[in-house]
C-alpha cells in the first residue's frame, strides 16, 4: 500500500481578501472580488480584474520586508505560505527539514515593469535589485528564506497548471520518501504583460466573466497565492498534527494541440482526470463535486465540458467554476482552487458558479447557488497554455 498524503494546513491570498477566513466568507456570501483595477497602472481601467486592494507597501509591511525592492508576486507568496505554516502548526524544527514546491506563471514580471519605467525616463537604475526578482525561482527562494526552509526547493512553471503541478509533485515526493513534509502551491500577481497579452489574444471579457454560460465572452484576470502543507502519515502522527483532507489522486497530461488553446475534444483534460481517478482508486460516481477550470472562454469551457461528459457520462457530478470570484490567477489558480476544494469538504457545501444565466448544450448546468451537501471527494481541474492539463482529487478524512 502506498503512503498516504495528508493536507495539514493551507494559506491563501486573493482578490477576496487575505487569509482563508476572508476567502471563505466571500465564497459563502457569493461576493466576487472582481472590479476595475485601481493599483495596476494600466490604460485598461475599464477592464475587470481580480485585484487585491492592498498596496505593495502595505503587503511589505505585513510580511516584514519594508524598504526592499520586492515583487508583488513574492509578497503574495510569503503571506499565503506564512498562513499555511501557522494553520498546520509547523515549528522551526520541522520547517528546517520541510520542502517547498512553488508554481508561478510569469514570476516577478511586475518588478521588471517598474524598473523599465525608470529606464524609459532615463533615471539611474540599480539593475541587480531592480531586475533580480523577475526570475520565476526568486519567489521560491524568498519564501524559503523567510520561513527558514532547508529541504528540497523546486519551482514549476507550466502556465495555468503550475501550482496544481506543484501540489501533485509534492504528493509524489512524499510517497517516494524524499520528504515527509512539503509546502506546495503557487503565486502570480497582476502585471501589464499578462493583461496586455491576454487582451491581444481577444479572450478577456470586458464585463464580469460567466464561466460555462452559453453566452460567455472570455475571462477576467486575477492575482493571488495559495499554499498547502502536505505531510506523510508518519510525519503527521509524530508531531500529533491534524489532517484537514487527504490528497488521494493527481494526474497530468498534455494534448499538444495548440500554444494557447485546448483541443476541441478536451483530450488533455480527459487524460488528466482519468489519471487522477486511476491513482486515487475512486470510481467516477464517488466524485461529489468538480471545481472546474472554467475560465469563461469559448474554447476552454466547451473543451472541459466535453471531457467531463466523456469521463462521467450521464451522471456528471455537481460542478462549478470559482473564477468569477477571483478572476483567473494563472499560476496560482490550481492552489487557490485546491484551498476552495478543501473548504468545500470542511464545510460540506458547494460554492456557486456566479453570473450564470444560459446553459450550454454539452452537459447539465453548473451549481448556481450555495449548496449544502455531502462532499467526500472533490476533483479540481487546472489547465494551462501549451495543453498542460492537471487534475487533483481531495478526500474527506472525517
Active-site residue set: 160, 293, 328
How far is 249 from 394, CA to CA, in rounded Å? 7
- Which positions ≥6 away from 228 have C-beta within 8 Å? 7, 9, 10, 84, 167, 170, 183, 184, 185, 335, 338, 339, 342
Residue given cell 494546513 in the structure block: 9
- Kindly write down the DSSP assignment for every residue of 347-397, as one continuous string: HTEE---TT--SB-SSSPPPP-S-EE---SEEEEEEE-GGGEEEEEEEE--
Is 262:269 a contact under the CB 8 Å cutoff? yes
Q: Which helix (H) or strand (E) holds 57?
A: helix 56-63
CA-based nearest residue to 397, from 373, 378, 381, 372: 378
Closest-CA residue to 186 (of 111, 104, 106): 104
The label of the residue with cell 497530468 reads: 252
Query: What is the rounded CA–CA span in Å between residue 74 and residue 155?
Result: 13
C-alpha to C-alpha distance for 383 and 295, rounded to whole angstroms: 9
Based on its alpha-carbon atoms, the radius of gyration of the chain, rounded to whole angstroms, reads 20
Amino acid at each position: 500500500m502506498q503512503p498516504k498524503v495528508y493536507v495539514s494546513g493551507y494559506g491563501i491570498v486573493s482578490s477576496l481578501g487575505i487569509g482563508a477566513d476572508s476567502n471563505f466568507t466571500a465564497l459563502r456570501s457569493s461576493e466576487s472580488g472582481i472590479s476595475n483595477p485601481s493599483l495596476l497602472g494600466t490604460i485598461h481601467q475599464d477592464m475587470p480584474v481580480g485585484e487585491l486592494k492592498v498596496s505593495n507597501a502595505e503587503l511589505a509591511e505585513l510580511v516584514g520586508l519594508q524598504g526592499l525592492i520586492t515583487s508583488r508576486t513574492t509578497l503574495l507568496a510569503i503571506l499565503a505560505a506564512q498562513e499555511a505554516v501557522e494553520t498546520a502548526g509547523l515549528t522551526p524544527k520541522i520547517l528546517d527539514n520541510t520542502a517547498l514546491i512553488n508554481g508561478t506563471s510569469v514570476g516577478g514580471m511586475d518588478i521588471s515593469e517598474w524598473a523599465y519605467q525608470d529606464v524609459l525616463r532615463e533615471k539611474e537604475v540599480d539593475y541587480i535589485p531592480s531586475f533580480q526578482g523577475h526570475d520565476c525561482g526568486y519567489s521560491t527562494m524568498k519564501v524559503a528564506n523567510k520561513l527558514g526552509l532547508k529541504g528540497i526547493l523546486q519551482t514549476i512553471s507550466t502556465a495555468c497548471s503550475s501550482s496544481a503541478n506543484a501540489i501533485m509533485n509534492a504528493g509524489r515526493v512524499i510517497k517516494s520518501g524524499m520528504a515527509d513534509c512539503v509546502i506546495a502551491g503557487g503565486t502570480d500577481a497582476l502585471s501589464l504583460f499578462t493583461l496586455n497579452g491576454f487582451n491581444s489574444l481577444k479572450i478577456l471579457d470586458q464585463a464580469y466573466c460567466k464561466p460555462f454560460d452559453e453566452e460567455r465572452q472570455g475571462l477576467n484576470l486575477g492575482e493571488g497565492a495559495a499554499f498547502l502543507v502536505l505531510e506523510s502519515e508518519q510525519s503527521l502522527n509524530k508531531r500529533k498534527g491534524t489532517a484537514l483532507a487527504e490528497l488521494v489522486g493527481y494526474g497530468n497530461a498534455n494534448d499538444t494541440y495548440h500554444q494557447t488553446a485546448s483541443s476541441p475534444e478536451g483530450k488533455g483534460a480527459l487524460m488528466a482526470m482519468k489519471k487522477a481517478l486511476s491513482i486515487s482508486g475512486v470510481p467516477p460516481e464517488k466524485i461529489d463535486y468538480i471545481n472546474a477550470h472554467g475560465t469563461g472562454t469559448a474554447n476552454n469551457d466547451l473543451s472541459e465540458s466535453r471531457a467531463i461528459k466523456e469521463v462521467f457520462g450521464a451522471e456528471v457530478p455537481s460542478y462549478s467554476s470559482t473564477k468569477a470570484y477571483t478572476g483567473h490567477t494563472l499560476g496560482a489558480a490550481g492552489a487557490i482552487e485546491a484551498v476552495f476544494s478543501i473548504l468545500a469538504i470542511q464545510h460540506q457545501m458547494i460554492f456557486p458558479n456566479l453570473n450564470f444565466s444560459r446553459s450550454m448544450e454539452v452537459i447539465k448546468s453548473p451549481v448556481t447557488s450555495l449548496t449544502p451537501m455531502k462532499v467526500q471527494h472533490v476533483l479540481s481541474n487546472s489547465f494551462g497554455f501549451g495543453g498542460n492539463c492537471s487534475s487533483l482529487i481531495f478526500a474527506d478524512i472525517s
